[in-house]
Structure 1
Amino acid sequence: MDNGTTIVDEESPMSFWTDNIVPVVVTTGCVTLGLLGTLLAVKSQSKNRSEDDPLDDDAENAAAQNAGKNGEVNREKYPGGKLTVYFATQTGTAEAFAKELQREGKDHGFLVRVEDPDTLDSPEHMADRESRSPFGADSKPDEMPRAIILAATYGEGEPTDNSTELFNQMEEYLENDEEGEVNKPLLGLEYAVFGLGNTEYEIFNAMGKFFDTALEKLGGTRVYDLGLGDDSDDLEGDFEKWREGMWATLKKRYVKDGAVVAAESQDGKRSLPDCEYSIRWEEEESVATATYSDQNRASVPLETICASSKHYFTAVDCPVPVVRELRSPEDGGSTVHVEIDISNANIDYQTADNLGVLPCNAQKVVESVAESLGYTQQLDKVFSVVAGTNQDGEEQEWHGLPFPTPITVRECFTRYLDLTSAPHRSDLKLLSSYAKEAADRKTLQHLSSKEGKEEYKKQIVEGKMGLSQLLKLCPSLEIPLEHLIGNVCRFQLARFYTIASCPKVHPESIHLTVAVTKEERPDGSSFEGVCSTHIAGGLDQSLRVFVRPSTFRLPPKISTPILMIGPGTGIAPMRALLQDRKHQFEQEQGEKTMHNVLYFGCKKEELDYIYRDELEGYQKEGILSDLHLAFSRKDPKNKEYVQHILRKNAASTHALLQEGAYVYVCGGVKMGHDVTETLKEILVEESNGSMSQDAAANYLTTLSSEGRFVQELWS
């Protein structure tokens, strides 16, 4: 995590490269539904394309060659039939797991597809026999559609952005079918679920549990037990164990002729894995004029874009006129106040929304990777991405443009490839395929093995080793450009920051509070957070951004009290809320009463008490009724945090809750957990025994569902 206002994990060590068993990978608004019996199709990637669209043939040919006419699948080659993996992801781990299943599928007898749940029109499509039967038109009556759901949870028990629609649809079905009397839309679907979660959060694996239960209630049949992975311990190990059992069960159930021989090289030579993409080199002039280039990205039809890449095309470039250091030079760290000019951008935001920032890799990282792979002379060459072919010469299925093309190699490396995050162990195994020297292959295979798990943790994760460092560790790695894009590197993710401004006060700018990540690796080299470093250097460049709604919303009446708890950069949304409250106070007619309480914490008053002048100014103006401060390093023998101050103010806190106060919490997940536990204790004690711990927990859950208890936390 890059800083206190980042909503999506920035430097997670598990997020590098990231028909019909349908593995759905889901990580941590309602739609109108049609008739349950309606036959639904996937939202076509080719919908609304012009007749001369060069991507049409790529998509159609790929689909035809992979599945044959009428979707038929060769039973000898793929005795298990088609397997569709749906991934719903926020940080890329879910997509990486889905692609891992895709790579393994052929060895187990399945033709595996990977698909984004955001492309589904409705849940029924997973059970649609016409398009989802395992062998297409050649399927037998007893060969039913199948689904495997790999479901991760985002934030406090929420679905990911690209699975929200599917989640809402399923919830609506369940709400309309409380008696279980409605025709089951997923009848005949055979499924299994693995959940990706984190026990550090109050709600563990909510989405995995939801999908496992919902699929059964909607008519599905569970064929393998629910698995629950814990990212605070060994998520990849949990998935590996579940995956092994899952494949064994599926093969026993669906592959009638016994085990499938893995397709490996028989002559002992290296065999590169299949790649989704191929590279077509272009003339340099094509970048400015091409329909799908970066310069023209805003006009690219969404139907031609890979669903998970839409922000690459829709985000807006905005200048950064202000970057100001907030911490004392003596502190040693850096937290910056950033102002982004949106006066010429078509961007609207609400108070304390989230801002997605698409980071750029530092040029020293780009050039290091290029040098190691022999691409230095090609950095300014222009290429386009087209569908690749597998080892049998069949064209791969086209899922849409992954990023704007034509593009230079340098721009691709800078904007769209994650070159800094540490890889999964499974990614190291894949990477070993590209090593020319046996010693390098052995090193990577050992680090990816169960036996090498501790060395992987120490050398790769704790050593913060990204691609640049891996290429030096294993110098014989030779990775073709299309494989670097399609197999080795995960695409660069947006990082989300809670906006620290109110649009009523700052309609032409968005403010951020960013802690700049800079650490020393065990080998003495410097590790820098890719996004925070990019933002902090924003004065000489623009930032590519987009807005995503948050759950921070003020009560409609100014008389309703608010309780804000935001230590460190968790102050960002509280700053925005205070700006909004002041504006509301100044616009209010008649009698004005309000009660705004803030708890802020940092290490030392003289080092990192950020926005001090503003907060004390609000207090003098009467906008901030109470300002409670916790300085954790003031007394090294007695560290005091915001939850300790909150506990001391139990009576006044309980009174605020009784008055209908809205509670806002922003910061680290441990702090959020401690604050929640403190609130429970206060509710129990101040109720004079009339409220139990369970009742207090249920009370906070009710507040959360009503939008009165809002938390944005990160691990």
Structure 2
Amino acid sequence: MSAATAETMDIVSPTIVAAAGCATVVMASALAYVMMKSKDRKKEEEEVVGESSGSDSTGETLDATKFPGGYVTVLFGSQTGTAESFVEEIEREGEDNGFKVRVIDLEDLGDNMTSLLAEEYRDSENKSRAIFLMSTYGEGEPTDNASAFVRALKEKAGLDGNIIDDDSAGEEKKGDEDATEVDSNLLGGLEYAVFGLGNRQYEHFNAMGKLVDSALSKVGAERIIELGIGDDDNDLEGDFENWKDNIFWPSLKERYIGGNATAEEKKDSAELKLPDCHFAVEYLPKSDESVEVDNISLDEVQTSTKHYFTSVDCPVTVTRELRSADTGSTLHMEIDISKSKDVINYQTADNLGVLPVNDDKVIEAVANALSYDLDAVFRIKAAPGKEGKHSVPFPTPCTVRECLSRYCDLTIAPRRSDLKQLAAYAKDPLDRSALLRMASKEGKAEYHEKIIDAHVGIGDIVSKLCRSIEAPLEHFIGLCPRLHPRYYTISSSSSQHPDSIHITVSILKEELGSGSVYTGVCSNHLAGIIQNGKIRVFCRDSTFRLPSDTSRPIIMVGPGTGVAPMRALLQERSYQRIQQKLSVGENVLYFGCKNRNQDYIYEDEMESFKNEGTLNTLRIAFSRETEKKVYVQHLLADNAEETWKMVDEQKASVYVCGGVRMGADVTDTLKKIVSNKGQVSLDEAKVYVEKMAKEGRYVQELWA
């Protein structure tokens, strides 16, 4: 089934219409089932230890000769799967280093932290060990699967907010009569380490790693390794590899085993053993009869893949180009949600998650290289011994084509650890050697040149570069990253357009030195959608919310496609003023682009907002029209007096959307305005802006 055919379906996962003799898979019941009321969480919390991947549920005594270091529990907070993949590396290496590793998704742990002290996982000194890999999401927030755990941990540790300063141990709650008393022995007997994943471009770099590391020590746990820090703006995988190989494993072995000679011998001998597979594939006999997708409760689905089960197909009714010819492409798209409002409800400037689809040529190349039948229908389940709560990664039964098109990221550059796994499947010694060389620490430069800089994905490796790779489907599903949704801040008002969602999409196309063209998997999927063609979507809350007091002014900063939520806010303010006859405060917009004749998107609409009186002030930075480049932060600084009056006296809300560096520059500019006009120090200005953020009056949604 082609991607185009898939886009014509209406239900959560497409009906698979195959040629005569192939199965038809009807998935309409899946959405209704997974949207049912969640199961009782208390029972799950009691069972979290026994159900977690890697746990020993047999009750048998641990083999001390095989695992002289005993148990170590590894927990992860992950949004896109990076922290989870790092945890899987630790799990794979556990036995070679002398430890029985069990993995727990923090969503399963929730607020049931004391389950980490379960007696069956303690050592001879009655101690438990837990390692936390914590990703930071957005502006210093926990990932979705870690939110309940972080909330409970902060409460027990008496911490207020998510931000732990580098030179402090965090600020305890003060003056809160309802604050829970800190339980300084809640996790007494737990020894822990934390590795944080973040991106230094963001203001609150590695906030979750720092928070969890600090909070655990406040509730009685003992830190055994100093906080590890990974920076995705540089070399996140390298940071993790260095921490894992040079700090984590050596520290654990020295503390709990006292030697590592045996472990090293095992590691060398096992270097190219076939990777452990968590999945099993059951191929279904070809039949003309329909086969319904297995009913899976959302409680049994991992947070990072729930969108596969809850998203719906909606038609695109409008697509129009916003830029002039030959200057790139930015599309305005309108999606009809009128028939899906029982599932999709949005508020102005929320986020729309779009599930990408891989290009047909890439799918067919991978299938040909690995000898997969694209029309074969299969069910995925846990491999023997790997049964657990989150053993189903996506809806099945489905065709192999559906699996490769929607659930496997075939174009993302694989990590070096992925190359090492792929090497185990290469039959040609030259292919195996090349993959292992680039996977090694010594091969980092070659890896960056030939994989990262060349935009080579797993699909390219198996179909072009290392054709000797042979991997059964279940193994490929296990080693290939999931294809994650792309999020677009909605550019429409839910009041003005209750049945339609608008998004603003920058189409990614980049010419490579080889003469080929690299295209963004999601933006180019959207660019290829024909009139009334369908895309699979879901909604997620954003932080953009207009002030409840409509008379208060707002300041919007949105260069490029960052203007999308500002368009939505202006539509909503127009609706409040004209339709609802409310008193609406002043609206000021700072927009930026290169040239007014090339990429001034939504120009006609901005002029219309001005003419009707909704947009009071529009300031535009055309960065390529002057000898000295001018950006939105420069215009904000030029209007410091006005900005200070609106923010301080009139309690204006400030909204910023765009690139991380722009966001940082705008924040610095605002701090300087507060410092200069408010006659306070920069440190006091920082506190002022942070207070605005806590009050919802300074909101940023940024991307790296």
Q: Specify whether residues 94 and 439 from structure 1 end up closer, same or farther in structure 2 by C-alpha distance, changes over 3 A only.
A: same
1:683 Cα deviation (Å)? 1.7
Does the 8 Å contact 2:621/2:632 carry over to 1? yes
Match for 1:326 among 322, 325, 329? 322
Query: 1:82 aligns to what?
Result: 71
Structure 2: distance between partners of 1:406 and 1:267: 38
Does the 8 Å contact 2:110/2:146 carry over to 1? no
Query: 2:676 aligns to what?
Result: 685
Q: Specify whether residues 39 and 531 from structure 1 end up closer, same or farther in structure 2 by C-alpha distance, changes over 3 A only.
A: closer
**What letter is aligned with 1:428?**
L
Query: 1:428 aligns to what?
Result: 419
Query: 1:350 aligns to what?
Result: 347
Does the 8 Å contact 2:493/2:569 carry over to 1? yes
Does the 8 Å contact 2:79/2:304 carry over to 1? no
Query: 2:284 aligns to what?
Result: 282
**What letter is aligned with 2:620?**
L
**What letter is aligned with 1:364?**
K
**What letter is aligned with 1:545?**
V
State the SS of the aligned residue for 1:74. Answer: coil
Structure 2: distance between partners of 1:269 and 1:623: 65
List per-residue Cα deviations over 1:400-432 (Å, max 9, x = no partner).
311111111111000101101001111112211
Query: 2:444 aligns to what?
Result: 453
Structure 1: distance between partners of 2:338 and 2:683: 49
Does the 8 Å contact 2:126/2:189 carry over to 1? no
State the SS of the aligned residue for 1:538. Answer: coil
1:395 Cα deviation (Å)? 5.0
Q: Specify whether residues 408 and 262 from structure 1 end up closer, same or farther in structure 2 by C-alpha distance, changes over 3 A only.
A: farther
List per-residue Cα deviations over 1:507-530 (Å, max 9, x = no partner).
101110010111122211111111
Structure 2: distance between partners of 1:205 and 1:451: 27
State the SS of the aligned residue for 1:619. Answer: helix
**What letter is aligned with 1:599?**
Y
1:148 aligns with 2:137: no
Query: 1:369 aligns to what?
Result: 366
Structure 2: distance between partners of 1:578 and 1:477: 54
Match for 1:553 among 545, 557, 564? 545
Structure 1 residue ranges without an equivalent (≥5): 1-33, 47-58, 293-298
List per-residue Cα deviations over 1:157-209 (Å, max 9, x = no partner).
11111111111111222239969653632121110011111221111111110
Query: 2:224 aligns to what?
Result: 223
Query: 1:476 aligns to what?
Result: 468
Structure 1: distance between partners of 2:571 and 2:509: 31
Structure 2 residue ranges without an equivalent (≥5): 1-40, 160-171, 174-179
Query: 2:6 aligns to what?
Result: none
Query: 1:160 aligns to what?
Result: 143
Structure 1: distance between partners of 2:504 and 2:289: 35
Structure 1: distance between partners of 2:404 and 2:144: 25
List per-residue Cα deviations over 1:254-281 (Å, max 9, x = no partner).
2367544468699999531111111111
Query: 1:663 aligns to what?
Result: 654
Structure 1: distance between partners of 2:126 and 2:260: 17
Structure 2: distance between partners of 1:95 and 1:201: 21
TM-score by length of 2: 0.86
Q: Specify whether residues 416 and 181 from structure 1 end up closer, same or farther in structure 2 by C-alpha distance, changes over 3 A only.
A: closer
Does the 8 Å contact 1:45/1:303 carry over to 2? no
Structure 1: distance between partners of 2:91 and 2:290: 36
Match for 1:650 among 627, 637, 640? 640
1:621 aligns with 2:612: yes
State the SS of the aligned residue for 2:441. Answer: coil
State the SS of the aligned residue for 2:227. Answer: strand
1:92 aligns with 2:81: yes
Q: Specify whether residues 381 and 163 from structure 1 end up closer, same or farther in structure 2 by C-alpha distance, changes over 3 A only.
A: same
**What letter is aligned with 2:639?**
N
Match for 2:555 among 537, 557, 563? 563
Q: Specify whether residues 287 and 632 from structure 1 end up closer, same or farther in structure 2 by C-alpha distance, changes over 3 A only.
A: farther
Match for 2:664 among 666, 670, 673? 673
Match for 1:402 among 376, 385, 393? 393
List per-residue Cα deviations over 1:124-163 (Å, max 9, x = no partner).
24533246x15xxxx64x2422111111211111111111
Q: Specify whether residues 569 and 114 from structure 1 end up closer, same or farther in structure 2 by C-alpha distance, changes over 3 A only.
A: same
Q: Specify whether residues 398 and 681 from structure 1 end up closer, same or farther in structure 2 by C-alpha distance, changes over 3 A only.
A: closer
Does the 8 Å contact 2:377/2:397 carry over to 1? yes
Does the 8 Å contact 2:77/2:146 carry over to 1? yes
Q: Specify whether residues 682 and 221 from structure 1 end up closer, same or farther in structure 2 by C-alpha distance, changes over 3 A only.
A: same
TM-score by length of 1: 0.85
**What letter is aligned with 2:560?**
G
Does the 8 Å contact 2:301/2:389 carry over to 1? no
Match for 2:575 among 583, 587, 591? 583
Q: Specify whether residues 583 and 44 from structure 1 end up closer, same or farther in structure 2 by C-alpha distance, changes over 3 A only.
A: farther
List per-residue Cα deviations over 1:443-488 (Å, max 9, x = no partner).
11111122111121122111111012222122211122111011x2
State the SS of the aligned residue for 1:663. Answer: strand
Counting only pairs closer than 5 Å after superposition, residues 632-643 of structure 1 correspond to structure 2 as 632-635=623-626, 637-643=627-633
Query: 1:19 aligns to what?
Result: none
| 422-431 or 531-540, which deviates more | 531-540
Structure 1: distance between partners of 2:290 and 2:702: 42
Does the 8 Å contact 1:40/1:124 carry over to 2? no
Structure 1: distance between partners of 2:59 and 2:202: 46
1:70 aligns with 2:42: no
Q: Specify whether residues 221 and 421 from structure 1 end up closer, same or farther in structure 2 by C-alpha distance, changes over 3 A only.
A: same
| 612-621 or 244-253, which deviates more | 244-253
Does the 8 Å contact 2:114/2:186 carry over to 1? no
1:43 Cα deviation (Å)? 5.2
Does the 8 Å contact 1:85/1:148 carry over to 2? yes
Query: 1:704 aligns to what?
Result: 693
Q: Specify whether residues 74 and 582 from structure 1 end up closer, same or farther in structure 2 by C-alpha distance, changes over 3 A only.
A: same
List per-residue Cα deviations over 1:81-119 (Å, max 9, x = no partner).
333322211222111111111111111112223332111
Match for 2:312 among 301, 304, 316? 316
State the SS of the aligned residue for 1:251. Answer: helix
Does the 8 Å contact 1:287/1:382 carry over to 2? no
List per-residue Cα deviations over 1:487-542 (Å, max 9, x = no partner).
x2011111111111111111101110010111122211111111111122233631
Does the 8 Å contact 1:41/1:125 carry over to 2? no
Percent of pairs with identical residues: 48
Match for 1:301 among 287, 297, 301? 297
Q: Specify whether residues 656 and 524 from structure 1 end up closer, same or farther in structure 2 by C-alpha distance, changes over 3 A only.
A: same
State the SS of the aligned residue for 2:59. Answer: helix
Does the 8 Å contact 2:45/2:108 carry over to 1? no
Query: 2:8 aligns to what?
Result: none
Structure 1: distance between partners of 2:674 and 2:269: 70
Match for 1:511 among 491, 502, 506? 502
| 321-330 or 622-631, which deviates more | 321-330
Structure 2: distance between partners of 1:181 and 1:211: 15
Q: Specify whether residues 85 and 542 from structure 1 end up closer, same or farther in structure 2 by C-alpha distance, changes over 3 A only.
A: farther
Does the 8 Å contact 1:307/1:400 carry over to 2? no
1:622 Cα deviation (Å)? 0.7
List per-residue Cα deviations over 1:359-384 (Å, max 9, x = no partner).
11111111111122222xx1101111
Query: 1:273 aligns to what?
Result: 275
1:665 Cα deviation (Å)? 0.2
| 449-458 or 531-540, which deviates more | 531-540
Structure 1: distance between partners of 2:271 and 2:661: 49
Query: 2:194 aligns to what?
Result: 193
| 513-522 or 112-121, which deviates more | 112-121
**What letter is aligned with 2:630?**
E
